[in-house]
Amino acid sequence: MRTGHDLELVHVTKRYGDAVAVNDVSHLFRGGSYVCLLGPSGCGKSSTLRMIAGHEGVSAGSIVLHGAEVTHLPPARRGTAMMFQSYALFPHLSVRDNVAFSLRMKGVDKPARHRRAGELLELVDMARHADRLPSQLSGGQQQRVALARALVTDPQVLLLDEPLSALDPFLRVRMRAELKRLQRELGIGFIHVTHGQDEALALADEIVLMNDARIEQAGPAREIFNAPRTEFVARFMGGHNVIALPQGRFALRADDVRLAPEGAEAVVRAVEYQGGHVALTARMAGEQELLALIPEAAFFADPKHPGDAVRLAWDEGRLHRLHA
Ligand code: ADP
Ligand code: MG
């Protein structure tokens, strides 16, 4: 059963003066799903998110939540909420009062808002720190408080703009598992902006990949990774080679390239140990460089070094045609 409310962007454009930050974007965000809005810096992710939140007006187009147009409603009346970076917590308010803040603005009485704040702090496992000030918390703990603060208004869609970027890599991986768990438990939609393809692959039911103010490709994470439509998608998602052949351009997953005696001649340019795999870059005839991800054990059974002549092979069926 699908819960949560669909959110739809219909021909949404955002201009800042002459510059077009979001160019005629249409997309249906399915209710209750975890969507990652992915793309390089400057491609229009935050502008899109801010328009959904209502912190930024649209230049053209409309935004529809659960069948109702919300394009011109103020942020607090849309059914969406934005999770702000943890440094946006009020430093002089306790954790409890930070979480209860928007309820106070709505005129909810103190016992009721403290009860609700308590429930949310429970949800993010921070109830025991309710009386602390933000400065008395670790980065990860502040992040949880920011999350509870955004959820206190019972949004149908939670909007998160690079929520993990301020955390160290270890904490980032832990927090992202936490976000995923919370989204499942709440059953509401999350729209999570990130420029990290690994983060999007790890989290998203659907990835919406933006490039230059437009959606380049949208679909389930495995579809975006395995069937990139364009060279941009293949290169941005990583782990692929883009090969030019007389019939056109093709993507080939790096883990589909192997060292094999019957393969094409190449010279090793670089070798990088990555743990489970070794990333070997080699140059073939015609300057074409190929990346091969070789399982650790196979590589070290017969290790290669820069300058070595090798042969590379792959199954023709694994070539995936790209569109211009
Ligand atoms: P992203 O979040 O993907 O990095 P943004 O949505 O922040 O991208 O920005 C998209 C484009 O719009 C960029 O070229 C950026 O410089 C421009 N932009 C963003 N906000 C403003 C603003 N308030 N005024 C003018 N230009 C802006
Ligand atoms: Mg941004």
User: How do residues 68-89 score in pLDDT, each as one tens digit?
Assistant: 999 999 998 999 999 977 668 9
Domains of the chain by residue range: 7-226, 239-321
Give dist(CA 63, CA 27) in Å, integer: 10
d(CA 245, CA 247): 5
Residue nearest to atom 17 of ligand 1 (CA): 21
* Phi-psi category of residue 152: left, alpha or beta, with phi > 0 → left and psi -120 to 50 → alpha: alpha
Question: Which ligand is closest in space to the CA of residue 50?
Answer: 1
Residue to probe by mutation, ligand 1, list 14, 16, 193, most atoms within 8 Å of CB = 16
Cβ of 44 closer than 6 Å to ligand 1, yes or no, is yes
pLDDT one-digit tens code per residue, 256-313: 999 999 999 999 999 999 999 999 999 998 889 999 999 999 999 999 999 999 999 9
Question: How far is it, in rounded angstroms, from Cα 310 to Cα 3?
Answer: 53
**Is the CB of 52 inside a 6 Å radius of any atom of ligand 1?**
no
Answer whether 7-226 and 239-321 agree in fold.
no
The closest residue, in CA terms, to atom 12 on ligand 1 is 21
Angle (CA) 147 150 154, round 5°: 120
Amino acid 86: pLDDT: 65
> Which class would CATH give 239-321?
mainly beta
Spell out which residues have Cβ within 5 A of ligand 2, the ion: 46
Q: What is the pTM of this model?
A: 0.94
Class for domain 7-226, per CATH? alpha beta
**How big is the CA angle at 218 (ends 215 and 223), to the nearest 5 degrees?**
145
Residue-level pLDDT at 248 = 94
Residue 276: CB atoms within 10 A of its CB come to 9
Distance 42 CA to ligand 2 centre (A): 7
CA 52 to chain centre: 16
Q: Strands of 309-313's sheet, edge to edge? A: 289-295, 277-284, 258-273, 309-313
Question: How far is it, in rounded angstroms, from Cα 248 to Cα 231?
Answer: 11
| pLDDT, tens digit, 9 for 90 and up, residues 87-143 | 689 999 999 999 999 999 989 999 999 999 999 999 999 999 999 999 999 988 998
Spell 228-241 as b/e; 16+ CB within 10 A means b: bbbbbbbebbebbb
The gap between the terminal CA atoms of the chain, to the nearest Å, is 38
Contact 195, 37 (CB under 8 A): no
Burial label for 145, CB within 10 Å (0-12, 13-18, 19+), is buried
Flag whether pLDDT at 184 surpasses 90: yes
Rounded to the nearest whole angstrom, what is the distance from the C-alpha of residue 120 to the centroid of ligand 2? 27
* Secondary structure of residue 268 in the 3-state scheme: strand
Report which bound ligand comes closest to the CA of 40: 1
CA 44 to centroid of ligand 2, rounded, Å: 7
Mean pLDDT within 176-201: 95
| 43 Cα: distance to centroid of ligand 1 (angstroms) | 8
Give the phi and the psi of residue 151 in degrees, each rounded to 5: -85, -10
Which tokens sit at 293? 């991800």
Q: How far is the CA of 207 from the centre of ligand 1 (A)?
A: 20
Strand order in the sheet with 240-245: 240-245, 248-253, 320-321
43 lines ligand 1 (CB under 6 A): yes
**Substitution site in 47, 82, 195, 216 for ligand 1 pocket (most atoms within 8 Å of beta carbon):** 47
18 C-alpha to center of ligand 2: Å? 19
Alpha-carbon separation of residue 78 from 8, 41, 73, 98 (angstroms): 13, 27, 6, 21
